[in-house]
Amino acid sequence: MKFPSHIPFVESLGFELHRFDGGHAELRVDLGQAHLNSWDVAHGGVLMTLLDVAMAHAARSIHAHEPDTGPGVVTVEMKTSFMRPAEGRLRAVARLLHRSTTMAFCEASVLDDDDHLCAHATGTFKYLRKLPTKGRNLKALNPKESRP
């Protein structure tokens, strides 16, 4: 399954989207050398990014039927707990817990191949159609059609 938006950073990490519907999302990644820390297990930043992207997609999945899959989201807040070292093929499962017109509240877990819980996060996301950037310019979301 293709990601609904072009996100170069996520693509560079090798994340794969396996579910994107009804307030749920699932991502997977095969850990490679570039994902590891000095103990040869998944770097915490990789796990946090996997959790963040999974939750963001769970939040966006309720708009999957809209043109360009509706508004994008930006992370407002995220709290992560690490339970055990993560190794091998990882799976992040996320769900939308609650939403308002402008905000989404989500949770996600990272599981290893043996379904051991490696990390868990909760996050708050804001729905945006455009993102104000430097000079107060508005940037539109990069839809999948704009991929190189």
**Which superfamily, per CATH, for 8-146?**
Hotdog Thioesterase (3.10.129.10)
Determine the pLDDT at residue 63. 87
Is the predicted pLDDT of residue 144 greater than 90, yes or no? no
* DSSP character string of 90-111: EEEEEEEEEE-SSEEEEEEEEE
Dist. CA 131–CA 147, nearest whole Å: 19
- Using CA atoms, how far apart are residues 106 and 134, in angstroms rounded to an integer? 29
How would residue 30 be classed by pLDDT, with cut points 50, 70 and 90? very high
Q: Tokens 């963040």 appear where?
A: 52
Report the percent of the chain where pLDDT is more than 90.
76
What is this structure's pTM?
0.90
The model's pLDDT over 52-89, given as tens digits with 9 standing for 90+, comes to 999 999 999 998 877 666 788 999 999 999 999 999 99
Q: How many CA atoms lie within 13 A of 147 on its CB side?
A: 11
CB under 8 Å to 146, separation ≥6 — which residues?
6
User: Pick from 16, 28, 43, 6: which is nearest to 93 by CA?
Assistant: 28
Mean pLDDT, residues 22-35 taken together? 97
C-alpha Rg value of the chain to the nearest Å: 15
CA–CA dist 42, 36 (Å, integer) = 5
The DSSP H or E segment spanning 8 is helix 8-13
The rounded distance, in Å, linking the Cα atoms of 16 and 119 is: 18
pLDDT tens digits for range 110-143:
999 999 999 999 999 999 987 777 776 777 777 6
